[in-house]
Amino acid sequence: MDAVIAGSATCASNAVVFGRGTFDSGNMGVWVGPFLKDSLLSAFNGDVHVQGVNAEDYPANLEDYVKEGGSESCGDACARTVDAYVEKCPEANIFLSGWSQGALCAHKCVNRVNDAARKQLKGLATFGDENALMDEPSTVPAGLSFKSYCNEDNASPDLLCTESALSGIDLPDSISEWKATVYDNLSLLKDVATNSAQLKAAASVPVSILSGFFGVSKYFLLDVAKGNVRRWLVLPPHFVYGNNGMAGQAASWMASLV
């Protein structure tokens, strides 16, 4: 999309901006973005531009997730990209997507694009969407097609988005319990990895989350008092959306809207 905006590439009929998850690398990450991109290229027969929000605009850190309910700078950067692309390609169909904190970015972006871009928005697809757990959830504009993909596996659901598998879940109410629930279980992240990039990330994510957590632990304790600790439960089932076929389902869904 940046190449089109810069005038060095031609328009596609469709364009998708994606927000990666917290501590995910590059623009598209390794867990969901690459799978979604490949599926989109197939679903749209190649007539699509797919771009992640630039790392310079979106650091994908834990601090912004906790303090801002998802990165404000990501929402702004996403909207700027969409606006600029539509200015160059006024007939293009625009889609927004994101996983984890990137889903929160997509929610913010969809409400920040300009009027011309809003007319071209066709759909919003999110994965592991924590929007409902935020202090000020974003709203989806009336009339916009929206699909939220959540791992609802009865044995090991994604606790950040599940609506049906919460009975019997023992939520942590102290920092030591959070560590035992989240950090210790993230050692199993390697078991859901399916390629070398994911295996590399699986080794670094637990360390990144633990170091990031201690910088924002006071907000965790505030959430304990408010009864809103679910937004801190980043567990292996949250990382499967590229591997479990849902990224492909989302791509097919987006293509069905045009």
Residues 45-65: tens digit of each pLDDT: 999 999 999 999 999 999 999
* Residue 79 and residue 29 in contact, taking contact as beta carbons nearer than 8 Å: no
Closest by CA to 182, choosing from 230, 238, 235, is 235
Average pLDDT of the residues in 193-207: 97
Q: Return mean pLDDT, the chain.
A: 96
Residues 54-101: tens digit of each pLDDT: 999 999 999 999 999 999 999 999 999 999 999 999 999 999 999 999
Give 191's contacts (C-beta < 8 A, 6+ positions apart): 236
Give 83's contacts (C-beta < 8 A, 6+ positions apart): 113, 114, 116, 117
List the strands of the sheet with 48-52, edge to edge.
48-52, 14-19, 93-99, 121-127, 145-149
Query: Is the C-alpha dihedral spanning 164, 165, 170, 176 positive or negative?
Result: negative
**What is the CATH number for 99?**
3.40.50.1820
* Residue 145 and residue 124 in contact, taking contact as beta carbons nearer than 8 Å: yes
% residues pLDDT > 70 (the chain): 98
Residue owning tokens 């606790």: 159
Exposed, middle or buried, 237 (CB in 10 Å: 0-12/13-18/19+)? buried
pLDDT score for 70? 97
Residues 121-178: tens digit of each pLDDT: 999 999 999 999 999 999 999 999 999 999 998 888 999 999 876 656 788 999 999 9
Closest by CA to 35, choosing from 202, 248, 258, is 248
pLDDT score for 29? 98
Number of domains the chain contains: 1
pLDDT score for 165? 61
Residue 244 and residue 157: Cα distance in Å, rounded?
13
pLDDT score for 45? 98
CA dihedral 202, 208, 209, 215 (to 10 degrees): 180
Structure token digits, residue 87: 């200015």
Exposed, middle or buried, 3 (CB in 10 Å: 0-12/13-18/19+)? exposed
pLDDT at 193 over 90: yes
Residue 91 and residue 11: Cα distance in Å, rounded?
9
The pTM assigned to this predicted structure is: 0.96
State which residues form the domain around 136: 2-256
pLDDT score for 209? 95
Residues 216-226: tens digit of each pLDDT: 999 999 999 99
CA triple 243-246-252, angle to 5 deg = 125
